[in-house]
């Protein structure tokens, strides 16, 4: 079969690449000496790598990272032992400042494509955990706004593995013994339940690769909450909520804004699953 001149790639061959950019899902993007585009999962912008071509199309190839020939100046040692196996943190090996710049570029590029916006503000956008920590848990103000206190309810906070991590970068709370969600629960009038697995992974990021492992992890979380007296779990991670519910949580699970709306009287009914 005649090979497409644009690709100039053969499956199971090796190429060396200077990685010039990255995709949102964590693949490095580079060109061979002949100009063929190759995507390499795990490679970072600034890396020089050797990759084995495992897939070719008429427009590009996909390579498996075989060797890091020269690391990017923005590459750091990932602080998670699951890096490279779990798909949750595809930029764990990228310096936090470089990750922020890259994600700002993604936003700018998307806005430019959609609406012709040339540039957005370079200011940092708060994540959900920062909203809870800095804004929502002004406990006196929040308590004063509550119209329907959740008195008598025992609620477990589920942080999961990413809400407060990486701890050195987020620096919002104690990663191993957090309290910000418990303060939030108290402010709504309920009693927070402390249980051992409140900051353990639910397995959501391995659900497609290993559904049984994800089921065991999520069931261990909900069982830990249930046996310690929680009647409800609240989380700030949509994927955690989905995974816990999908795998048959022993207690209902709600997103933190649902609980907030219920206490503030702006919600007619709960949607706990």
How far CA 99 is from CA of 24, 44, 75, 193, in Å, comes to: 11, 10, 10, 35
From the list 42, 49, 1, the residue with the least C-alpha distance to 22 is 42
CB 28 within 8 A of CB 44: yes
Q: What is the mean pLDDT of residues 80-88?
A: 72
In the predicted structure, residue 124 carries a pLDDT above the cut 50? no
In the predicted structure, residue 259 carries a pLDDT above the cut 90? yes
Parallel, antiparallel, or unpaired: how do β-strands 37-41 and 154-158 relate? unpaired
Q: What is the mean pLDDT of residues 118-132?
A: 52
Q: Model's pTM, two decimal places?
A: 0.59
In the predicted structure, residue 73 carries a pLDDT above the cut 90? yes
What is the pLDDT confidence band of residue 24, given thresholds at 50, 70 and 90?
confident
User: Per the structure block, which two tokens stand in for 222?
Assistant: 């909900």
User: Which bin fits 35, alpha (ψ -120 to 50), beta or left (φ > 0)?
Assistant: left
What is the pLDDT confidence band of residue 140, given thresholds at 50, 70 and 90?
confident
In the predicted structure, residue 149 carries a pLDDT above the cut 80? yes
User: For 164, phi and psi rounded to 5 degrees?
Assistant: -115, 5
**DSSP collapsed to 3 states, 68-108:** EEECCCCECCCCCCCECCECCCCCCCECHHHHHHHHHHHHH
At 163-173, the pLDDT tens digits run: 777 666 666 67
What is the pLDDT confidence band of residue 190, given thresholds at 50, 70 and 90?
very high
What pLDDT sits at residue 5?
A: 47
How far CA 67 is from CA of 40, 86, 103, 214, in Å, comes to: 11, 20, 26, 30
What pLDDT sits at residue 174?
A: 76
User: Per the structure block, which two tokens stand in for 203?
Assistant: 């397995």
From the list 222, 217, 223, 248, the residue with the least C-alpha distance to 233 is 222
In the predicted structure, residue 126 carries a pLDDT above the cut 90? no
In the predicted structure, residue 117 carries a pLDDT above the cut 50? yes
Q: What is the mean pLDDT of the chain?
A: 84
In the predicted structure, residue 130 carries a pLDDT above the cut 70? no
């Amino acid at each position: 079969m005649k090979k497409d001149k644009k690709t100039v790639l053969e499956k199971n061959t090796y190429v060396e690449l200077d990685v010039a950019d990255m995709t949102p899902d964590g693949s490095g993007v580079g060109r061979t000496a002949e100009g063929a585009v190759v995507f390499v999962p795990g490679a970072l912008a600034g890396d020089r790598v050797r990759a084995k071509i495992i897939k070719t199309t008429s427009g590009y190839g996909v390579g498996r990272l075989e060797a890091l020939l020269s690391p990017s100046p923005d590459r750091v040692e990932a602080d998670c032992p699951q890096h490279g196996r779990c798909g949750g943190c595809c930029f764990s090996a990228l310096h936090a400042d470089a990750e922020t710049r890259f994600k700002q570029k993604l936003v700018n590029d998307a806005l430019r494509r959609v609406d012709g916006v040339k540039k957005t503000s370079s200011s940092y956008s708060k994540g959900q955990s920062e909203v809870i920590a800095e804004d929502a848990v002004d406990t006196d103000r929040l308590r004063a706004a509550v119209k329907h206190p959740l008195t008598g309810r025992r609620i477990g906070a589920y942080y999961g593995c990413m809400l407060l991590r990486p701890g050195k970068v987020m620096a919002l709370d104690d990663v191993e013994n957090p309290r910000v969600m418990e303060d939030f629960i108290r402010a709504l009038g309920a009693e927070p339940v402390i249980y051992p697995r409140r900051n353990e992974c639910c397995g959501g990021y391995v659900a497609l690769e290993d559904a049984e492992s994800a089921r065991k992890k999520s069931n261990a979380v909900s069982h830990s909450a249930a046996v310690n007296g929680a009647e409800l779990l609240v989380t700030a991670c949509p994927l955690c909520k989905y995974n816990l519910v999908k795998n048959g949580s022993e207690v209902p699970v709600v997103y933190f804004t649902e609980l907030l709306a219920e206490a503030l009287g702006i919600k007619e009914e709960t949607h706990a699953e």
